[in-house]
Amino acid sequence: MYLAELEDRLGHTFRNNQLLEEALTHPSYFVESMKTTGKDFQRLEFLGDAVLGLAITEKLFEIFPSFDEGKLTKLRAKLVSRKVLSLLASSLGIGKYLRLGKGEEKNQGRTKPSNLANALESVIGALYLDGGWEKAKSFVFQLFSPLFVELHKDPSAFLEYENSKGLLQEFLQKKGMELPVYRIVLESGEAHNKWYEVEVLWKNQVLGKGSGKSKKEAELRAAKEAFEKLISQTPTDLIQES
């Protein structure tokens, strides 16, 4: 089965293969093909959105017992944003498996953030139907685990920079064991008013640069620039474990 590789990444072998195929089928696939029957991912996306939201809510409720509804809602919204979901979908290589119409294929549909985010939600919906709540929740927790770790350390930084360091490290580890290195290239100002400029390197290549009033802020900005650049330049069919 051509989706076996993706199933390995999802940690689940589907009993109903059609569910996974449906979860990866863009609406354009049937519109622009000779096929008159079949389902696209829109219904599973609807279901997956609810499953994802509940799983994220449960985890946030657990790790932030002192946070009120407003803070929890804000954190959840950031975690399930289109941008974060599309980046996580890219890290799984979901774009490689999408079934697209010819027009959508030519229009770089495999790398479109909206297609990737929608497909990830639909895959979560398919996991829920095929494996149940615990399987779907386990997958969500594992996929978002680097974000949860960074979020627990510093919720305010996560809200601003979307765990850029964690996402960058996870992305690079799928392409090799070497970790990114952060290097201060400029430190200026008085002790009470410092300014830092940082580069992030991987295999001696400068991937991104950032600046800020603290080393951490500068590193986060450098990681954010590097991660967004890598995602935009790397075909999703190459984003896979080495």
All residues at 6 or more sequence positions from 62 whose CB lies less than 8 Å from its CB, including other chains:
none
Q: How far from chain centre, in Å, is Cα 20?
A: 19
Establish whether 178 is an annotated binding residue. Answer: no
Q: Which listed residue (121, 162, 199, 219) is catalytic?
A: 121
Asked if 68 is an active-site residue, the reply is no
Instruction: Check whether 228 is labelled as a binding-site residue.
Output: no
Among 49, 104, 162, 170, the one annotated catalytic: 49
Q: Quick check: 101 and 95 in contact, CB under 8 A? A: no
Number of Cβ within 10 Å of residue 115's Cβ equals 24
CA 207 to each of CA 34, 73, 93, 212, 231: distance values in angstroms, whole numbers, following the listed order: 44, 33, 21, 17, 12
Task: Establish whether 121 is a catalytic residue.
Answer: yes
Judge contact between 6 and 92, C-beta under 8 A.
yes
121 is in an annotated binding site: yes
Task: Give the DSSP per-residue string, 94-125.
Answer: GGGG-B--HHHHHTTTTT-HHHHHHHHHHHHH
Q: Give binding residues for Mg(2+) as ranges.
A: 45, 118, 121
Q: Which residues are catalytic?
A: 49, 121
Q: Give binding residues as ranges.
A: 45, 118, 121
